[in-house]
Amino acid sequence: MTDATTASAPPQPQRLQLLRVLGPVHVWALGVGIVLVGEFMGWNFSVAKGGAMGSLIACWVIGLLYTCVAMIDSEVTSTVAAAGGQYAQAKHIVGPLMAFNVGMYLVMAYTMLEAADALVVGDLLHQVAGQFGYAMLDPKPFVVLTIAVLAWLNYRGIFATLSINFVITAVAFLTIVVLFFALKPWDPTAALHHKELLTGLPYGWIGVIAAFQFGIWYYLGIEGTCQAAEEVRSVGRSLPLGTMTGMITLLIAASLTWYVASGLVPWQYLGQASVPLFDTARLTGSRFLEVFLFVGTLFSAVASANGTITDAARAWFSMSRDRYMPQWFGAVHPRFRTPFRAVVFLVPVAVSFAFTGLLDQVITFSILSGLLGYTFMSFNMIKFRKQWPLGSIKRAYTHPFHPVPAITLMALCITTYFATYLGYGSQLLAMMGFYIVASLWFHFHRYKYVRRADQFTMPWPRPRLSR
């Protein structure tokens, strides 16, 4: 048997399952590996929108948004532990069209992040080549090479892929810590110049709100840990442990990153840099730190691209297995047990967007898809508690203060849509146009190929619904 999900043979042949090989370390590596690149690039566009102080405020406020996401996701994921993460949640709690959209949010958020990662690899090599007198180096071959090699690794198997991710993510995180201590934070005036470089709020408070858009980039993707739920050995232990340690890692890394970069780089330069931490290292005058942060930036971008290929392919695979997308993509490789067709299909999309060279705009598409997913989480939580009240089904974790986190999350999402409207309004409308057309296509065409009751696989009682 080579293809477990071919379209033409009811009754269905037995499905090949994904291998359960991952532990908490891999979950940490998957979550942090995807997100850590956000400390090496992208977060600094929030400085362009609201100044360095505005970026710091955005980092904290958006940290609150992600705290709500973590609280909500921990409860729902501990109950719906299946590949596809939020996609599987939407199928069981809101409905098929919502699930299709959530699946697309995941695919687009991760594929655009993959494109941004590859773009940064190309930009970094171009910049370093320029320093050595080879300013004409074309970054495009490196973009293609990065995506192709990582797609091949993902094609071959998730265990080796995420084991490599663990090592390179750990090295990338170490480079931030080393940079921080090399700048003697215990003596803030020795190497850093916050007093001279921090300029207050250049656009006032509206700039702070505008900065929320890229504040998302400090953390975007941490919720991706639950994408691999079906491949985790002990879901109840590994998922919360890997996600929580990942979130702590990111909070530390975000604080260190802002502190060192804003203390060395003028805010207008910082706001447009494609590799801000590498530039920060250049300004220290230490060749060792420059090389070390070159390695850190490269490793973080590669680790992130690696994790995003894993997650995007699994979301696409889950949708195809449910026939939300053509079934051909729902095949598991007979030898490597990976969603190999889904891995390959998304490669040209990532390459195309990486080739534009428009890092802030590619990132914006990723942010918007993530933001739509967080908006879903807010009303999904309300529906989840309403349809299955506490005590009606087994929950491994129940978050406190319901519905405060859901309402706070919704309010912060609405504010972040407004933040995106400020400066990136046409991209916001383009993204919505994409999801509207895709939704119409699914509802009026694609859904006819979907088996109805097969979408509900959890052993739960009938939901409480008002008709």
Partner 1 sequence: MAKKPYQPPVQSKGGQIFDSFFILALVYAALLTPLLLGLGASNGATKHQTAPTWESLHQNTTMAQQWEKLGYTPKTAAPIIEQQFDYSINYGYLLLTIVVIGGYFFFMLKASRKEYLEVIDEKFGDDSH
Q: Is 450 in the site for partner 1 (CB under 8 A)?
A: yes
| Both structure tokens of 160 | 């080796």
Amino acid occupying residue 209: I
Q: Is 196 in the site for partner 1 (CB under 8 A)?
A: yes
From candidates 214, 278, 365, 374, binder to partner 1 by CB under 8 A = 365
Amino acid occupying residue 405: P
Residues touching partner 1, count (CB under 8 A): 86
Beta bridge partners of 22: 232
Give dist(CA 211, CA 416) in Å, integer: 9
Reduced to 3 states, what is the DSSP secondary structure of residue 397? coil
> Taking Cα atoms as reference points, which of 105, 28, 35 lies closest to residue 377?
105
From candidates 184, 272, 334, 392, binder to partner 1 by CB under 8 A = 272
For 467, what's the count of Cα atoms within 13 Å in the CB-facing half-sphere? 1
Please give the residues from 7 up to 26 whose contact with partner 1 meets the rule CB under 8 A: 7-8, 10
Q: Which is nearer to partner 1, 2 or 352 (CB)?
A: 352
DSSP state of 225: G
Please, are residues 172 and 36 in contact by the beta-carbon 8 Å criterion? yes
From candidates 266, 286, 337, 382, binder to partner 1 by CB under 8 A = 266
Q: Is 448 in the site for partner 1 (CB under 8 A)?
A: yes
Please, are residues 154 and 338 in contact by the beta-carbon 8 Å criterion? yes
The one segment of 78-86, 141-149, 202-210, 232-240 that binds partner 1 by CB under 8 A: 202-210
Please give the residues from 40 up to 59 whose contact with partner 1 meets the rule CB under 8 A: 48-49
Please give the residues from 206 up to 235 whose contact with partner 1 meets the rule CB under 8 A: 206-207, 210
- Give CA separation, 49 vs 36, 45, 54, 325, in Å: 21, 7, 8, 38
The burial of 44, by beta-carbon neighbours within 10 Å (0-12 exposed, 13-18 middle, 19 or more buried), is given as buried
Q: Which is nearer to partner 1, 234 or 356 (CB)?
A: 356
Nearest approach, Cβ of residue 242 and partner 1 (Å) = 30
Q: Is 287 in the site for partner 1 (CB under 8 A)?
A: no
3-state class percentages of the chain: helix first, strand second, coil last, to nearest 5:
70, 0, 25
Please give the residues from 376 up to 405 whose contact with partner 1 meets the rule CB under 8 A: 379
Amino acid occupying residue 174: L
From candidates 279, 290, 311, 322, binder to partner 1 by CB under 8 A = 279
Q: Is 362 in the site for partner 1 (CB under 8 A)?
A: yes
x/- binding map, residues 413-442, to partner 1, per CB under 8 A? ----x---xxxxxxxxxxxxxxxxxxx-x-
Please, are residues 359 and 143 in contact by the beta-carbon 8 Å criterion? no
The one segment of 63-71, 141-149, 231-239, 452-460 that binds partner 1 by CB under 8 A: 452-460
Please give the residues from 90 up to 149 whose contact with partner 1 meets the rule CB under 8 A: 94-99, 101, 108
Nearest approach, Cβ of residue 142 and partner 1 (Å) = 20
